[in-house]
Amino acid sequence: MNLVSGYVDLMRMPANEKFPDANNGLEPAIADETWVVIPVFNEAEAIREVIGSITPCFKNVVAVDDGSSDRTWDVLQDCAPHALRHFLNRGQGAALQTGTDYALAQGARRIAHFDADGQHRLEDLQKMVAGVARDECDIALGNRFAGDISEIPATRRILLRSAVLFHRVVSGVRLNDVHNGLRVLSREAATSIEITADRMAHASEIIDLIARSGARVREYPVTIRYSDYARNKGQRWTGSFRILLHYLIGRFAG
């Protein structure tokens, strides 16, 4: 285990570690060139199952423990193909950037962002990776509103729709789901987009960065699983207002 940049512990799986068959609905070469970044904070209960759900297809998974206070780091050392660690809790945006930088340094051709709480599905990730690999777009974004929205909690639906309208006014970006954490970026797009908002305001910052980058963007229908566990981990109204405030301060004062 090595100390990297003063705040990250790096663990690689042994060279003889056996992975499940990666040829699961996606060409092996495409899957092998794609790195999945999972930001993790206090997810000891769920993260093993989440990682296990995607490694049958994607062997290059890097999980970033963002200063968890539970047993998350112990679990990651046992189940994550690549595990990084922030000694202090810096926020999801910082964890995503740490994982993205690491994956790019390993030669990743595509970077995927995947949540740690079990909300995202492998099959949605696969079709988005395939879209970027086929050059349908430079950045693939998940859109939960393109399908059945009956499971989305009413308050969550209001918050998400409000965020869409907000970004159409502030950023001029016409997307239908601006705060979906499931996204896939080509290497070129990931290199040009650097997240500086450490905490949850990064989701809004990414939309701004995409708008400025000139990258080709496409939304793909995805299903978000709202389990009791995921609902309890989700943002509250007060948290959303704090995120908005941090975003506005960063955007207009930065």
Res 12: pLDDT:
45
CATH number for the domain that contains residue 86? 3.90.550.10
Share of the chain above pLDDT 70, in %: 78
Would you place residue 21 in the very low, low, confident or very high pLDDT band (cuts 50, 70, 90)? Answer: very low
The number of folded domains in the chain is 1
Average pLDDT for the chain:
83
Lay out the sheet containing 139-143: strands in order across.
2-4, 8-12, 82-86, 61-66, 34-40, 110-113, 183-186, 139-143, 217-221
Q: How confident is the model at residue 16 (pLDDT cuts 50, 70, 90)?
A: very low
Which residue segment(s) compose the domain that 167 sits in? 2-253
Q: Secondary structure of 180-200 in the HEC alphabet?
A: CCCEEEEHHHHHHCCCCCCCC
What pLDDT does residue 155 have?
A: 83
- Has residue 4 got a pLDDT over 70? no
pLDDT at 232: 65
Segment 115-152, tens digit of pLDDT:
999 999 999 999 999 999 999 999 999 999 997 788 88
- pTM recorded for the entire structure: 0.82
